[in-house]
Amino acid sequence: MVSGGDAAVVLKDGTNSEAGMKLLEFLATPEAAEIWAGAGGFLSPNKNVGLDAYGDDTTRSTAKSLVEAGNSVRFDMSDQAPAAFGGTKGAGEWKLLQDFLRDPSDPKATAAKLEAAAAKAYGN
């Protein structure tokens, strides 16, 4: 299964970091994930989040697949690529793949453009 993900960190020691750590600890709980799941647009890999927390059958099914995939979950390329290639709307991978969807007649040319854009973004 290919997925995307988000991370949260506390970067500073001190009084505010204690509150930040408490927030992160809460966000890691099934209770927090169930609130997000109920709002929609969110899947939790937490096995303790009940599928009934999700608002529709499609999301429930997808959440179940995510949990069942276990160690087979992989992050998509945009999570690992430099922003100039994979994370900038209207540029790099994003734009090249949109262009390809508009005109899929030449996948080899699109692949070559993707390779060139990746090499440039990675500084190769």
Q: Residue 72: CB partners within 8 Å, gap ≥ 6?
A: 1
Same domain, yes or no, for 56 and 107? no
Q: Residue 49: CB partners within 8 Å, gap ≥ 6?
A: 30, 33, 34, 37, 63
Residue 40: both structure tokens together: 């929609």
Same domain, yes or no, for 35 and 55? yes
Tens digit of each residue's pLDDT (9 = 90 or more) over 51-83: 999 999 999 999 999 889 988 887 776 667 787
Same domain, yes or no, for 23 and 33? yes
Please check whether residue 44 is in contact with residue 37, taking contact to mean a CB–CB distance below 8 angstroms: yes
Q: What is the pLDDT of residue 15?
A: 67
Same domain, yes or no, for 8 and 68? yes
Tens digit of each residue's pLDDT (9 = 90 or more) over 22-37: 999 999 999 999 999 9
Mean per-residue pLDDT of the chain: 87
Same domain, yes or no, for 102 and 117? yes
Residue 6 has pLDDT above 90, yes or no: no
Degrees to nearest 5, angle at CA 34 with 29 and 36 = 100
Same domain, yes or no, for 63 and 95? no
